[in-house]
Amino acid sequence: MKIGIASDHGGFELKLLLKERLSKLNFTIIDFGNNSYEPDDDYPDYVIPLAQSVAKGEIERGIAVCGSGVGASIAANKVDGVRAALIHDHFAAHQGVEDDNVNILCLGGRVIGSETAMELVTTFLNAKFTYAERHIRRLQKIDSLR
């Protein structure tokens, strides 16, 4: 699976760890930055290009990490075709994909431990959308708002 990952300074260390561990699991990873720790960087500069790539189908899924995960989620959801969610638990990591077709997982680098983050990421990446009629109907209602 080809995935993208992006972070600002608040998620930089967690991004590096996730990138290293996911590479060992044979995921193809595209890093949208930041490529170095910059304490004054801005998450939209990295999250928006990630979200645009997901929306265009250039990558299958994305992982966006900022300090809390909130800003990354807000930014990613501004891009048509993106369904980003801030996830903190195992159930939401798979259910968000299965029922809501989430395509970008947002994490808070300052609020979640690395082992939990890795568990959530692998759960998210292994989940599949169910294509159940009720889920499609709900997503169509949301998409009609754009």
Question: Nearest to residue 76, comparing CAs of 95, 92, 55?
Answer: 55
95 Cβ contact partners less than 8 Å away, ≥ 6 residues apart: 127
Catalytic one among 66, 85, 120, 127? 66
Q: Where are the domains of the chain?
A: 2-143
pLDDT per residue as tens, the chain (146 positions): 999 999 999 999 999 999 999 999 999 999 999 999 999 999 999 999 999 999 999 999 999 999 999 999 999 999 999 999 999 999 999 999 999 999 999 999 999 999 999 999 999 999 999 999 999 999 999 999 87
Active-site residue, 106 included: no
What CATH number has the domain spanning 2-143?
A: 3.40.1400.10
